[in-house]
A and B are shown apart, each in its own frame.
Chain A
Amino acid sequence: MIIKTNKLNLWYGAFQALIDVDLAIERNRITALIGPSGCGKSTLLRVFNRMNDLIEGVRMSGSVNFEGKEILDHEIDLITLRKRIGMVFQRPNPFPLSVFENVVYGLRVHGEKNKQVLAEAAEKSLSAVLLFDELKDKLSMNALGLSLEQQQRLCIARLLSVTPEVLLMDEPCSALDPFATMKIEELMIELKKQYTIVIVTHNMQQAARISDDCGYLLLGELVEFADTKKIFTTPADKRTEDYITGRFG
């Protein structure tokens, strides 16, 4: 187990967005968080790299343990945390820089200056997301000129270059067409050999296709968390059953 939450509560001002969430994320597996809009699944994901800190008026209680470290600790080094736990966003968000500068961005901000190292890392990361052959002659083009699928792959490559351990993915395919979605899903299954992946998705079929573990959230509560097969065949909770059979949500 790589991340474990214990009685995690989160408030946006007076609104409680997460209620007593207990969850354990296993290494080298894909964990999917599903649930209707506003159930808190993205909020939960953003606890793991403390991106919620950017929102004013956020309070948290309980604990989130990441390899023996307390993520909620105010003293924690956010730079190291975010280097180890990377994030892919809903809309591909490459920077308005060249493809190469996008990939090596993380390394640059962490102080890497050696051109050789940067070039090797760029090739390795782009190869890992199967973009290198496509883009090896276009490394200096502006990343905003790529297709959406390529942009999302590039964002994943950008993460891989800083060698994280966990990849958080916040609805990574929602801006993509079905074919591009399939390709990104194949990539995720490939990536889980080396990384731990947590994905938020509103697409239940996607969760069923790619995840190993699955958690169902409703109104800030983690209703059920289990093996994906079990969630989708014999859910223990009536509310989960209602959601996955399409009676609700």
Chain B
Amino acid sequence: MKRAFEFLIERAIFLSGIASIIFVVLIFFFLLKEGLALFQTESLTGFLFGKNWYPISDPPRFGILPLFLGSLLVTLGAIVIAVPLGLASAIYVAEVAPPKLRDILKSGIELLAAFPSIVLGFIGIVTLAPFLKSVFHLSSGLTALAGSIMLAFMAMPTIVSIIEDAIVSVPKNYREGSLALGATHWQTIYRVVLPAASSGILAAVMLGIGRVIGETMAVLMITGNAAVLPTSILQPVRTLTATIAAEMGEAVSGSEHYYALFAIGIVLFIISFVINLLADLFLHRKAAR
């Protein structure tokens, strides 16, 4: 009796343990099956490098280049904003802020991560977009830049907390060695502490990119949703994720359009996978040292 009970418990735990792997594999195959179906009618190069995304015209065109460049532009913009700001913020929290302020700042940064992205998107629409519109004299403030700024806010908590961890874990004796040579606190930070924390900083940037590229709701709301080849950051764009979110409801199941949206999913999956892999490599390199 007891034996059987032990057996059942062990099996149950085992099943829960491998469930996540099973689900990942199932999702992956489902994604592949639905996405690859597109290429029965559409060529791979036409899909990846086609300049027009007209899914409901006749004949339909499924070129994701404008969407891909839209994602790239918004992501790059967000990283350009979030990384310097996040790095500076992490340095302040880890090295400069007095202990009490440090605790307050850290919880503040974590709270920023707790905002649902749709709330940030909504705030962006009513405050940031009109602001950008009047500053740059645009016809609409819903642009790639607006998306970049909102996404930078969303990536900041990840970037700051990982860089802060990396800085705090730099051995104390590096700092002592530097200060004992007569270096100032700032010289010690940028000549010794930051190089020593560099792999953690790179990992933070990678994970920040991962966070940004997968974000959907806020970019859907705030980037203007125009699937055209972007020429400027002050222009409306549409990202890969926003396209799926916006069109999934109207795509007929089993249609070419439906398969194309899944194919976009595969592209996103590959991008996220590569980014996470790189981040992992950087973090691992740090652990190995």
Contact = CB atoms under 8 A, between A and B. Distances in A.
A76 interface: no
Interface string A144-177: 1000000000010011001000000000000000
Contacts of B182: 78-83, 106, 109-110, 162
Given A54-B179, A108-B191, A109-B191, A93 B184 contact: no
A158 B182 CA distance: 12
A105 interface: yes
B135 interface: no
B234 interface: no
Interface string B165-191: 000000101101111111110010001
Interface stretch (A19-27, A29-37, A84-92): A84-92
B120 interface: no
A86 B177 CA distance: 10
Interface size grouping (class) on chain A? 20 to 34
Interface in A54-100: 54, 78-83, 86-87, 89, 91, 93-97
B58 to A, nearest CB: 62
A95 B177 CA distance: 8
Contact of B180 (A80, A87, A97): A87
B180 A96 contact: no
A201 interface: no
Interface in A196-233: none
A82 B183 CA distance: 9
Contacts of A117: none
A51 interface: yes
Dominant secondary structure at the B interface: helix
B181 A158 contact: yes
A161 B74 CA distance: 48
B195 interface: yes
Contact of B181 (A54, A86, A91, A96): A86
Contact of A95 (B178, B179, B184, B289): B178
Dominant secondary structure at the A interface: helix
Contacts of B173: 89, 91, 93
Contacts of B176: 51, 54, 87, 89, 93
A49 interface: yes
Interface residues of B, number: 18
A157 to B, nearest CB: 12
Contacts of A96: 174, 192, 195-196, 289
Interface string B79-104: 00000000000000000000000000
Contact of A109 (B171, B174, B184, B289): B184
Contacts of B195: 95-97
Contact of A105 (B181, B196, B289): B181
A96 B176 CA distance: 14
A83 B179 contact: no
Interface in B220-266: none
B174 A93 contact: yes
B262 to A, nearest CB: 46
Contacts of A83: 181-182
A43 to B, nearest CB: 14
24 contacts: A81-B182, A82-B182, A83-B182, A86-B181, A87-B176, A87-B180, A89-B176, A89-B177, A93-B174, A95-B192, A97-B195, A106-B181, A108-B191, A109-B178, A109-B182, A109-B187, A109-B191, A144-B289, A155-B177, A158-B177, A158-B181, A159-B181, A162-B181, A162-B182
Given A93-B171, A159-B181, 5 more contacts: A54-B176, A86-B180, A93-B177, A106-B182, A158-B181
Interface of A: 49, 51, 54, 78-83, 86-87, 89, 91, 93-97, 105-106, 108-110, 144, 155, 158-159, 162
